[in-house]
Chains A and B, each alone.
Chain A
Amino acid sequence: MVFQSAEFIIFFIIIFGCYWTMSCKYRWILLLGAGYVFYSAWNIKYSLLLLLVTLISYLTALLLERTDGREGREQSRKWTLRLYVIFELSILFLFKYLGFFSEIFGSMLEKASVPFRIPALSLLLPVGISFYIFQTLGYVLDVYNRKIHAENHFGYFAASVAFFPILLSGPIERIQNLVVQLKEKRAFSYENARISFQRILLGCLKKIMIADSLAVYVDQVYADVRGYSGLSLVLVIVLYSIEIYCDFSGYSDMATGIAGLLGIYLKPNFMRPYFADSVKEFWKRWHISLTSWFRDYVYIPLGGNRVRTWKKDRNVMITFLLSGLWHGADWSFVFWGGLHGGMQLLEGRLSEKIRVRIPRIIKQLAVFVLVSLAWVFFRADNLREAGYVIGHCLQGITAPAEYFRLSGNLPEMPVLQLLFLAAFMLIVFLTDLQEEKGRVIRAGKISVIVVIEMALFYYFRYGTDGSAFIYFQF
């Protein structure tokens, strides 16, 4: 049940109607039930896993709080936390990384000529597992570090973990922020609902019209990268950068908008990342909830930047390598994370040495190029394929006429579709630009209807199969 499906629209209309007509006191029950129904639509068995993680996290947090300040209990608190972290990471490891590490271990054994074969376990990856594991882990760590109090009411806690707009693909919203809002007596706000509705429309535009359309082309090329070279590959590199931004920020916009319609405020997960003028700034704007999670629970505990330079560099690299691994159990994701870490370190060194003032637009373009090249490792099936794309994208540039002619082997797109797609991208770009300037977008009814008209035409005429969001796999 993806957000853009008819099933979800019906599901949400029912929840929305019940939510605002029932007493505030019982809304958590509705949201808890809705969360589990929503999750069970993917896989009913894995909703038990969600329940288990929720229950263990809830009890651990309570235990940590109850034993806090008692004499001689500090050691047991530490052990409780350690066991909890092992439990959480084991679940993640079992479902997400077991295959990857078995492969590495297996090849090591093979090289050492040890006659042992690791049995292959093919477990279906539970959707959103990385998101809710990180969410609950962060919550328990905060309780341990005495930053927050443990939530006593299991219902509010469980409803926050299973809050359906963010359950499958984030943002990794802090549980305490959700619990506080769920407990508040909130009245319906017309203005807030209107902005949330527009946010959902923008998300749909990004995901259904732009990302899904571009995915057809990008997927086709990446399915056989060696059949392409030169400008075709450059175009696909750029298109994928746009696709992944529109896909994930589109999802985040929809999640934020849906939560907003229920009166729940979620922190922004994207802040126009391609307007960033440094790689460091890019990470302050891209998938903010994950970046801040790694900052708070990995980078700072490692010492952050209040240590010697080499240690700071080490901390940056560890954080980014783990961030890469979080995205997927594959070397290409690890490499992608390492690449971003390396770029950030290099950027820091260069900015210390270069005294010339570079125009912001040049810096923004440079960041876009670097980030786009890094996305190749994220998208390609493996490092070798990624290497091919990078290595062949400038092939033939010395003969420009031939170089541009080679782009002809890209799949063709009807001119009308191209025009519409360009118009949608322009709308997204202008919206981002306005928000970058700090203006709040309040589209009038007429412009909303015009955009819906365009979207209806485009969707019915050229619509794709409505693929799942890229970040669902993480």
Chain B
Amino acid sequence: MKKFVREILIITAASVMLFVLMNIIYFKLGHHGRMTAFEVYDAIDRTGQQTEYTALVLGDSVARQFFSPEDQDESGRICFLATNQAIMTAGNDILLERFIENNAQLKEVYYILRPDSLKSRANFIYTYSYFITPFFYNEYLKYLSADTVEALKNVYGRLWTGKEFPKWFLGKYPKALEMYNHYGQRIWEMKCAWNKENELPDMSLPYLKKMKQICDDRRIEFHLLAAPVPEKYEYDLEQLCSEMDAAGMPDLYEELTDSMQYVEGTQFVDGIHLNKEYVQANKESIRKNILESRRK
């Protein structure tokens, strides 16, 4: 039995060590990031470039179906940088501020998303892959409030937010992150009944307000517009209205709801994203409709 147990231990230890070692080598060779949230890394790169665009589109993955950098008309005046709702408004704020720093000629900003994306809560898994991994560097942390940074460090642990390799590893392997979350939370729950996800900070409306403020200060037009939703869209808009009123943004709420476009439910593949055929056939017209729905 000893021989068998020894063999199992050797195989297990060798496998785990080899796995970690291979990842360290891969990491050291310079293959960083761009694993799960490739569109976010791409957007970060683009916001660091000096261009001649005078308008910028930010948004969620539904907006990305119409405003993806892949659809970018290089000679046009609008820069398409819609990414994913998982970066939340805080991530879009970082993209906006970086873009403004490198592109002083900016005149208009269109923040396009489904109303529910606007209020999407931070989520342990997605927030790590889409926000911590790409954005949690000193050069971007300056755009976030000290409270947000501190809360995120507390939730994910300083090792997993600060050190490069663990951050890259968890970002690359979603299941490892999920297991860290699952078992980590269980251990925490046993110790002090603390659910980490509840500790995640609000990274939506406070950052929307900040985006608007930054644009107003620089005399840049800021528009909050809706991405297409199904005819039977069930979301508590009244709640959103009262929250945006309370946050002092009733105008933005009105612009958002006025711009809502409803599409037949059968055209959605998962109730959120439109099917490829529909997008292909209607891309230009929907894009035009969205942009023209802004308040003049």
A449 CA / B16 CA spacing, docked (Å): 9
Residues of B within 8 A of A448 (CB): 11
B4's contact among A190, A452, A456, A463, by CB below 8 Å, is which?
A190
A-B contact list, 16 entries, CB within 8 Å: A190-B4, A197-B4, A408-B276, A445-B10, A445-B11, A449-B18, A453-B15, A453-B22, A456-B15, A456-B16, A457-B19, A460-B173, A460-B175, A461-B175, A462-B175, A463-B174
Docked-complex contact B175 and A449, CB < 8 angstroms: no
Is residue B167 contacting chain A, with contact meaning CB distance below 8 A?
Answer: no
Number of A-B contacts (CB under 8 A): 46
A461 CA / B169 CA spacing, docked (Å): 10
Docked-complex contact B18 and A463, CB < 8 angstroms: no
Q: How many residues of A contact B (CB 8 A)?
A: 21
Is residue A26 contacting chain B, with contact meaning CB distance below 8 A?
Answer: no
B175's contact among A188, A445, A452, A459, by CB below 8 Å, is which?
A459
Is residue B114 contacting chain A, with contact meaning CB distance below 8 A?
Answer: no
Is residue A370 contacting chain B, with contact meaning CB distance below 8 A?
Answer: no
Is residue A356 contacting chain B, with contact meaning CB distance below 8 A?
Answer: no
Q: Interface code B1-38, partner A: CB below 8 Å = 1, 0 otherwise?
A: 10110011011001110110010000000000000000
Is residue A114 contacting chain B, with contact meaning CB distance below 8 A?
Answer: no
Residues of A within 8 A of B275 (CB): 409
Question: Chain B's nearest CB lies how many Å from the CB of A16?
Answer: 9
Residues of B within 8 A of A121 (CB): none
Q: Which residue of chain A lies nearest to B275 when distances are taken between CB atoms in the complex?
A: A409
Q: Interface code A362-382, partner B: CB below 8 Å = 1, 0 otherwise?
A: 000000000000000000000
Residues of B within 8 A of A193 (CB): 1, 4
Q: Interface code B50-88, partner A: CB below 8 Å = 1, 0 otherwise?
A: 000000000000000000000000000000000000000
A448 CA / B10 CA spacing, docked (Å): 12
Residues of A within 8 A of B178 (CB): 463
Q: Which residue of chain A lies nearest to B8 when distances are taken between CB atoms in the complex?
A: A197
Q: Which residue of chain A lies nearest to B173 when distances are taken between CB atoms in the complex?
A: A460
A194 CA / B22 CA spacing, docked (Å): 27
Is residue A294 contacting chain B, with contact meaning CB distance below 8 A?
Answer: no
Docked-complex contact A461 and B172, CB < 8 angstroms: yes
Docked-complex contact B175 and A463, CB < 8 angstroms: yes
With A449-B11, A453-B18, A453-B19 in contact, is A460–B176 under 8 Å at CB? yes
Docked-complex contact A452 and B15, CB < 8 angstroms: yes
Question: Chain A's nearest CB lies how many Å from the CB of B250?
Answer: 40
Residues of A within 8 A of B18 (CB): 449, 453
A456's contact among B19, B172, B174, by CB below 8 Å, is which?
B19
Residues of A within 8 A of B8 (CB): 197
A411 CA / B183 CA spacing, docked (Å): 30
Docked-complex contact A461 and B173, CB < 8 angstroms: yes
A193 CA / B172 CA spacing, docked (Å): 35
A460 CA / B36 CA spacing, docked (Å): 12
A188's contact among B1, B7, B16, B276, by CB below 8 Å, is which?
B1
Question: Chain B's nearest CB lies how many Å from the CB of A66?
Answer: 41
Within 8 A of A (CB), among B130-183: 172-176, 178, 183
A453 CA / B17 CA spacing, docked (Å): 10
A20 CA / B4 CA spacing, docked (Å): 12
A60 CA / B1 CA spacing, docked (Å): 40
Is residue A415 contacting chain B, with contact meaning CB distance below 8 A?
Answer: no
Is residue A440 contacting chain B, with contact meaning CB distance below 8 A?
Answer: no
Q: Which residue of chain A lies nearest to B169 when distances are taken between CB atoms in the complex?
A: A460
With A460-B176, A461-B173, A461-B174 in contact, is A194–B7 under 8 Å at CB? yes
A449 CA / B11 CA spacing, docked (Å): 6
